[in-house]
Chains A and B, each alone.
Chain A
Amino acid sequence: MTTPHDAREALMTGRRSDGTAVRRPLSPHLQVYDMLQMTSLSSILTRITGVAWSLGTLLMVWWLVAAASGEEAFARAQWFMGSILGLLVLFGLTAAAWYHTLAGLRHLLWDWGFGFELPTMYSTGRMVFIGTAALTVLTWVLAIVFWG
């Protein structure tokens, strides 16, 4: 047998009573779960929106560096962010950011020791989804109202 690279491999290998090596079966994993239930969905979305927001920070970096570089570079950045694609990206980023923020507040509540009961978990999960939709729309209504 080769040297395992992953420490978890040690748990996967065993021997039969006659001494031959055997790979132990893996217990049921992702396929046995309903991935769309509130608990797992709200959890994985926190991670996905966090990664999306990480990519979104590139827009902030671009905006700041362009502003420091001069009028021409700034105009390019502003042209992109005002384009259909740019606005779509910014809208998606707003939704991801609000979701991650509200889900983060939910996590802080758990860290504080509250909200572990399943009914509470479901209601706070719903609040995060509804809050994301409401705050994303509110953000863009304000952006359009104050445009210019």
Chain B
Amino acid sequence: MAMTDMNNGPAAMRTALGRVRGLGSAKGGTHHWWMQRVTSIALLPLTLWFVVSMIGLAGTGYVDAVLWIGAPVNAVLLLALIALTFHHMAAGLQVVLEDYLRPESKRMLAVLAMKGACALLALASAVAVIRIVAAA
């Protein structure tokens, strides 16, 4: 594409940088979209594992729950589930807020507040898992 552009018309005199200047920052490009897909695929087995595990724990008490969370494999998978869940959730909620909120200032504040909340929830969950592992 670049070759034909360069050989036709006034664009021939312009550098690649000159052509994109003024069009605004590319920022993340496709990163947001791609990460939403990657996290969704990773969450398929993780969420299924979590739901099946919760079914297994249904009706049991505190000791069983703490023993299950504190088991090394479960703790590692839980931390992965927490990180990916809140990453995917923040990415999804960001698009929802961006679609419905105007003006830009309100939208930016809402997205930042939402991302802050997601980060804090993820950290609280992760600290809870690590605390249980440390106590085991």
Asked if B56 is at the interface of the complex by the 8 Å CB criterion, the answer is yes
Cβ distance A44 to chain B, nearest Cβ, rounded Å:
11
A78 to B61, CA, bound (A): 8
Are A6 and B103 touching (Cβ within 8 A)? yes
Are B103 and A108 touching (Cβ within 8 A)? no
Considering only CB atoms and an 8 Å cut-off, how many residues of chain B contact the other chain? Answer: 34
Are B40 and A104 touching (Cβ within 8 A)? yes
Contacts of B28 in A (CB 8 A): none
A50: nearest chain-B partner, CB-CB? B92
Interface residues of B in 102-132 (CB under 8 A from A): 102-104, 121, 124-125, 127-129, 131-132
Are B55 and A67 touching (Cβ within 8 A)? no
Partner of A67, one of B41, B44, B132: B132
11 A–B contacts, CB within 8 A, in A order: A50-B92, A50-B93, A54-B92, A60-B85, A64-B125, A64-B128, A65-B125, A67-B62, A74-B66, A139-B55, A146-B58
Interface positions of B (Cβ within 8 A of A): 37, 40-41, 44, 47, 51, 55-56, 58-62, 65-66, 69, 78, 85-86, 89, 92-93, 96, 102-104, 121, 124-125, 127-129, 131-132
